[in-house]
Amino acid sequence: MSGAAQRRRFCQALDLVDSPALIAEYQRHHQRIWPQIAGHLRDHGILEMEIYRLGTRLFMVVEVSAAFDAGRFERDSRLNPDVQRWEALMWKYQVATPWTPPGEKWVVMEQIFSLTEQ
Q: Is 19 helix (H, G, I), strand (E, B) or coil?
A: coil
CA-to-CA distance for 56 and 23, rounded, in angstroms? 8
Q: How far is C-alpha 113 from the geometric centre of its chain's CA atoms?
A: 21
CATH of domain 7-109: 3.30.70.1090
The pLDDT of residue 1 is 42
HSE-up (13 A, CA, CB side) for residue 6: 7
Per-residue pLDDT tens over the stretch 53-109: 999 999 999 999 999 999 999 999 999 999 999 999 999 999 999 999 999 999 999
Q: Where are the domains of the chain?
A: 7-109
Per-residue burial over 21-34, b if 16 or more Cβ lie within 10 Å, else e, is eebeebeeeeeeee
Counting every residue written for the chain, the total comes to 118
Taking only Cα atoms into account, the Rg of the chain, rounded to an integer number of angstroms, comes to: 15
